[in-house]
Amino acid sequence: MKVLVLHGPNLNLLGTREPGVYGHVTLAEVDRMLRDHARRRGDSVECRQSNHEGQLIDWLQTADREHFTGVVMNPGAFTHYSIALRDAVAAIKLPVVGHRRRRPRADLGIRPAELRAWLRRARVALAPTGPTTVNRRRLLDV
């Protein structure tokens, strides 16, 4: 299995941005743990991060042509307001699994309900506990 992992805006700052909220683990450490976990399973993971909505959309639209079998995405703040990213997820045929670092309930009331639920194609809802072994296993069970 070949899984594309997409990290959205500001996730490049993991470990330094509000560590009391998001933890001390860096994005490089998360990516390394995901690759190690995939390798132990005989799978592969390619991790990409962008602060730009259009880049994330381009990666989603080309994932099938790049022979990925699924996509795991933490769209960051785009979860709340990106109709274009929601449409890109709906347009592709690959399974897409959403992952959040924070509890979605923490964001209730600050974003429109229809946009909070935009990752409706996701088959697995993950706890916001970070890159634990259980979550990494779920991320790779696309």
For residue 36, the domain's CATH number is 3.40.50.9100
Percent pLDDT > 70 in the chain is: 69
A 10 A CB-CB count for 112 gives 10
Q: Is the pLDDT of residue 93 over 80?
A: yes
Q: What is the pTM of this model?
A: 0.76
Instruction: Give how many domains the chain has, as a whole number.
Output: 1
Q: Summarize the chain as % helix, strand, coil (round to 5).
A: 45, 15, 45
Range of the domain at 127: 2-140
